Amino acid sequence: MAFDKMELKDIEVWDGNFAAAQALRQCQIDVVAAYPITPSTPIVEGYAKFLSDNYIEGEFVMVESEHAAMSGCIGAAAAGGRVATATSSQGFALMVETLYQASGMRLPIVLNVVNRALASPLNVNGDHSDMYLGRDSGWIQIDAYCPQDAYDLNFIAFKVSEDHDIRLPAMVHQDGFMTSHTAQGVHTLSDDVAYNFVGNYKPMNDMLDFEHPVTHGVQTEEDWHFEHKARQHNDLMTKVLPKIQEAFDDFEKLSGRKYNIVEEYDTKDADVCVVCLGSSVETAREVALEMRAKGIKAGVVGIRVIRPFPFEQVRDALKGIKSIAALDRSSPNGAAGMLFNEIAGSLFNTDTKALLSGYIYGLGGRDLTKAHLVDLFTELQANVDAGKVTTPLQQFIGVRGPKLSYL
């Protein structure tokens, strides 16, 4: 039985979860192995409903845990077909072992991560603890700021992940609830246009090619392990960003929507700049415009590709900025935030005179308000005026009780 195509309006009102589910439908995934968890559940529920209404041809395997979900995805990907799943938070944490296995086995899989805090204390709301937990796992990590991004970036993820020069799994991140459950207008692609952009799946070392038996997931010790890991890192460092840029360029031609590895907003003449991820980028942009009206030359940098980290693009984007704030939505638990570290790494050994300070915010779904950002930009301007960082290097914002700051 052939599956049915779906007629979409040019603009649909979708939340981030449904946008991702629609993208998965249009990519015609062969196998989805999944397990429910708030707030990503509607992605796989949506997918299951599409299947039960004959909008999808493929296998949907509802497994008994997130670890099994990714294990099933690995087996399916090694068998040779298009594979995807979705998860959040604790489910992501349970998957971690298999995330490293998937990337080390060089299997293209797309994982939608609807970002949520990690227990304890248990919390269902959005922060980036799970995203950060995956940052050394060898996956490509792309970040959506809104439902439109969640839709579009899935197509990018498949195209890059399945490319035979890449063969690495990819995560598409979106903020739990703020993006996943907030309905917005989403510009759509028709089923044919969307599918043709991603293209037919091209198998490689597929276990179901019985004329060419393959061995997946071998043992290597000190004699070969380092070479395998080094090669994976090398491909991430040298091949992935150009391929993502190529996919962004192709996608822009197709849809008119332009994505960048690092998104820059009013940075060219800016004195102060906020660097952040997720739905906070939009809030920061709005406040930056208001600050400009008050005479503070404010800009915003949104990191679109978290892994591989775009060191050169970040360095270029921050060129000439006098005071930079790195906003991390995950407790670094005894260190600087991830963005603080990576930005410092990008700028160190350059001739920058930029001042860098870090802010920890929004844990467990705590709102980042415009007032917070007004204060933050004001502090950055004070740094510019003083010619030095006037605040502690790490501050917690929006948390009750006495102000927490360090370093």
What residues make contact with another protein under the rule CB under 8 A? 30-31, 33, 57-59, 61-65, 67-68, 71-81, 83, 97-98, 101, 105, 203, 206-211, 213-221, 224, 228
Shortest spacing between CB 212 and another protein, in angstroms:
9
Q: Measure the CA–CA gap between 358 and 344, rounded to whole angstroms.
A: 10
Nearest to another protein of 211, 351 (CB atom): 211
Shortest distance in whole angstroms from residue 60 CB to another protein: 9
Kindly report whether the peptide bond that precedes residue 39 is cis, defined as omega within 30 degrees of 0. Answer: yes
Give whichever of 98 and 357 is closer to another protein, judged by the CB atom.
Answer: 98
Min dist CB 220 to another protein, Å, is: 5
Please tell me whether residue 158 adopts helix, strand or coil conformation: helix
Provide the 3-class DSSP secondary structure of residue 228.
helix
The H or E element that residue 195 is part of is: helix 191-198
3-state DSSP assignment of residue 143: strand
Q: How far apart are CA 316 and CA 29, in angstroms?
A: 37
Contacts of 399 (CB under 8 A, 6+ apart): 363, 366
* Smallest distance from another protein to CB 188, Å: 24
Q: Residue 74 or residue 144: which is nearer to another protein going by CB?
A: 74
- Residue located via tokens 């559940």: 41
**How far is it, in rounded angstroms, from Cα 132 to Cα 154?**
19
Q: Give the residue among 41, 51, 3 at the shortest CA–CA distance from 20.
A: 41
Cα distance between residue 240 and residue 247, in whole Å: 10
User: Please, which residue, 105 or 168, has the CB nearer to another protein?
Assistant: 105
- Nearer to another protein (CB atom), residue 74 or residue 287: 74
* Complex with another protein: residue 105 or 384, whichever CB lies closer: 105
Shortest distance in whole angstroms from residue 223 CB to another protein: 8
Distance in Å, CB of 115 to another protein, minimum:
25
